[in-house]
Amino acid sequence: MAATSATVEACTGKATREACMLIVFIGPPGAGKGTQSKRLLNYLGIGHLSTCELLREAKAAGSPLGKMAAQSMDQGRLVPDALVVEMVNEKLREPQFSKGCLFDGFPRTLAQARALDASLEKRGTPLCLALELRADEEELARRMLGRAAQEGRADDNPQTIAHRMEVYHQQTEPLIDYYRFKSILSIIDAMGTPDEVFERIKAVVEKRRKQ
């Protein structure tokens, strides 16, 4: 409960309200995270932190952290969570993240979420909001298959979609209960047009900013 109290305190008060906007998106494949995250970034004017891009940039730059990450990547291994969190902390010091951050692709697992929270709370900037885009999985599968047919993408077929859904349930879905316990989870109905879904997201974000 201490972590929850810290989060609530950090998100209250006019002076800290804007700086508090550290947001995580959760949702199954095909739920529209990419589309909605772009809209939210423009709406809030906060930084976008993609861990995939972060790792590629760090490797290309040859920084000390990047060299350590490159060793894992070149050997086909996952970059250790502690190293990714350290790289995230380093990135958050850049000016474009002064008003907040939308995390993309991280955390994906419960272990990563705990590591990120521990690090952010040490900085005095805990996560403010976790948004779960929730939708009917059969409808999501139809969406992805339709998109694949239109774009000629062979990678989105019933087998790969089923596998991606399974990975989501096993690795990422536990984050929902984790963030619910911390009292920062909001569930967004992802069914409807992109405009309708974004209006729901804006309503949740504005409610959090006014608390």
Of the listed 164, 180, 202, 209, which one is catalytic? 164
In the predicted model, residues of the chain with pLDDT beneath 70 are: 1-20, 76
- Predicted pLDDT at 203: 97
Sign of the dihedral through C-alpha 146, 151, 157, 161: negative
- Predicted pLDDT at 153: 78
pLDDT digits (tens, 9 = 90+) for 32-53: 998 999 999 999 999 999 888 8
Q: Supply the mean pLDDT for the chain.
A: 84
- Predicted pLDDT at 147: 86
Q: Is 147 a catalytic residue?
A: yes
Q: Is 207 a catalytic residue?
A: no
Of the listed 38, 123, 153, 207, which one is catalytic? 153
Domains, the chain, ordered by start: 2-210 (3.40.50.300)
Report pTM. Answer: 0.81
Nearest to 195 by CA among 24, 28, 31, 35: 35
CB 24 within 8 A of CB 128: no
Of the listed 39, 56, 99, 108, which one is catalytic? 108
SS (H, E, C) the chain: CHHHHHHHHHCCCHHHHCCCEEEEEECCCCCCHHHHHHHHHHHHCCEEEEHHHHHHHHHHHCCHHHHHHHHHHHCCCCCCHHHHHHHHHHHHCCHHHCCEEEEECCCCCHHHHHHHHHHHHHHCCCCCEEEEEECCHHHHHHHHHHHHHHHCCCCCCHHHHHHHHHHHHHHHCHHHHHHHHCCCEEEEECCCCHHHHHHHHHHHHHHHHHC
- Predicted pLDDT at 15: 35
Q: Is 33 a catalytic residue?
A: yes
- Predicted pLDDT at 11: 41
- Predicted pLDDT at 81: 83
- Predicted pLDDT at 72: 74
Amino acid at 204: V
